[in-house]
Chain A
Amino acid sequence: MRHSLSVMTLFMGVLSVLVYGYAQHRLSALARPTAAPELLISLPRFAQVLMAGGDRHLAANLAGFRVLVADTGRMNAEDYAVQAKLQRDIAWFNPLHEDNYYIGAAILPWNGELDAAQYVLRRASDARTFDWYPLFHYGFLFYHFRKDPATGAQWLLKGVPRVTNQQDEWALQNLAAVWIEKGYQTANAATMVDAMAADSPPGAFRNYLQVRARRLRDLAALQDAATLFQARYGRGVVKLEELVSAGLIAELPKDPLGFGFGLDAAGRPILNPVAAGGQ
């Protein structure tokens, strides 16, 4: 009896090892349908708070880590929509979260999520009463994305009482004056994104901002060349290549993000939208 039991146990052990091994083998051949997106889902706010033991600060940090580890190089429009939702949630859990507003300003508006960026920055501006940066970024959204320099300048000026040193105060007032006086200028936007990159710690995030700034500088150069072309030939460019053949630029700049440059209806060089082709 005892002998048959031990044989039975041995048989069950061997059988389970075989079944386990075969199951693993079969599973490894099956593709995971959820592996592709960088940011797959965003849970309702209450579910996030409950999963963090009722602690909204912890919920904010957990969502923040998800945003931070996502690779922007592999993200598509759907991923950015989820990121926007997550960043809105973080702004609600903890509007004081510095990384959240900074990443929101640096990534969301450039990827078709302008409303979310405005929400995040507005919450941060109201909560971080000691910090003028959220107001600066909020103003920049109006300046660069809404093409409304006057409103952008008003938000910059609201940040002035929060500045703690004279130099920054003058810089902010000067910038507001330039925005009001000269209107929108691409080169100005490039300088500001460059400044954001310089203010970030070394790493992928800084590189991302530097690429954005380079793109804007290239666009500014194309726009300057298009203005010269208009003055020289009395008409706008029809194709960007005309700027090269006219000798105004040596070659067409290569877009580091791969979306390229185009022309609007008035013949002015623009960035091809990031969301084009769903990418």
Chain B
Amino acid sequence: MLMIGIAYLSGFFSPRQPQTVALDVGFSGIRFSLVLLNLFWVQELVAREIDRRVILFSLAYPVSRGAFLAGRFAAVLLLSLLAATVLGLLLLLAVIVVGGGFSGEFPPALGLPFWSTVAGLALDAAVVAAFALCIAALSTVSVLPLALGAAFAVAGKALGATIDYLARGADGDQELLASYSPIVDRIRWLVPDLSRLDWREWSMYQLAPGAETVFWSVSMAVAYIVLLMVVASLLFSRREFS
């Protein structure tokens, strides 16, 4: 709610495109909120349960540990989708009322492009949730999924900007280019580029992302989630609780 309020107020800072700026800040707010909520839910539904030993009762049911984790992830996903829908509706409202009578020449697209962007942000948050779940499956420290999940969310989102900066020659800094390019080239195989799931320019400037870009971005995210869930199941099934 606070994020959406900030998005609304931020529109008043813009002399030329109040609705677009409100939308832009609002999308950042939705992404931030969804990531935090997902991390919090993973923390509450898995990590804290292990910490309080309540997990022993849950695992006494005749379901596999993998199914238990998948169930928890599905619950987080469902809650996340619900939160994304509510935040999306609030942002729509904020964008419609912002502007103070001045409408820019290029109004934002608030239909399918808007909801596609919200869906992309929800998928981004789902990847972060899967990562946090994987950490929770093996961690003995209950705050570790939250801390590492947040670091993963920032790293995944900043990766696109880093790759872009290096690809454009790092402002002519050859030393930086030589030292960091090989590292980033390796990291990009381990950490997904979450900025690829950000399609806000479609809604803000009516610049639709290419179908191929969307397809491969979604494929990357879904495959990464499945991979993390498999790893989490394997780790969790071998874990011993005392």
Residues of A at under 8 Å CB distance from B?
45-46, 49-50, 52-58, 60-61, 64-65, 68-69, 93-94, 96, 98-99, 102-103, 128-131, 200-201, 203, 205
Contact = CB atoms under 8 A, between A and B. Distances in A.
Contacts of A205: 15
Nearest to B155: A54
A56 B195 contact: yes
A203 B102 CA distance: 12
Nearest to A92: B165
Given A46-B162, A54-B154, A205-B15, 18 more contacts: A45-B165, A46-B165, A49-B161, A50-B154, A53-B154, A55-B31, A56-B158, A56-B160, A57-B27, A57-B198, A58-B28, A96-B205, A98-B20, A102-B15, A130-B207, A201-B15, A201-B102, A203-B15
Interface of B: 10, 13-17, 20-21, 24-25, 27-28, 31-32, 100, 102, 104, 106, 153-162, 165, 194-195, 198, 200-201, 204-207
20 contacts: A45-B161, A46-B165, A49-B161, A53-B154, A53-B157, A54-B194, A55-B31, A55-B32, A61-B28, A64-B13, A64-B14, A69-B13, A94-B24, A96-B201, A98-B16, A98-B106, A103-B15, A200-B15, A200-B16, A201-B15
Contacts, number: 92
B19 to A, nearest CB: 11
Contact of B28 (A52, A69, A129): A52
Nearest to B159: A54
A94 B207 CA distance: 13
B157 A57 contact: no
Looking at A50, A56, A131, A203, the one whose CB has the most chain B CB atoms below 10 A away is A56
A93 to B, nearest CB: 8
A98 B27 contact: no
A55 to B, nearest CB: 5
Given A54-B153, A96-B204, A102 B162 contact: no
Contact of A58 (B15, B25, B100, B102): B25
A31 B28 CA distance: 37
A98 B28 contact: no
A39 to B, nearest CB: 15
A176 to B, nearest CB: 21
A274 B159 CA distance: 41
Contacts of A131: 106
A57 B200 contact: yes
Nearest to A101: B16
Contacts of A45: 161, 165
B106 A130 contact: yes
A126 B66 CA distance: 49
A98 B11 CA distance: 13
Nearest to A60: B24
Nearest to B198: A57
A15 B85 CA distance: 53
B125 to A, nearest CB: 12
A102 B105 CA distance: 13
Contacts of A60: 24
A54 B14 CA distance: 23
A57 B165 CA distance: 15
Given A45-B165, A96-B207, A130-B106, A55 B15 contact: no
B28 A55 contact: yes
Given A46-B162, A61-B28, A53 B16 contact: no
A167 B200 CA distance: 32
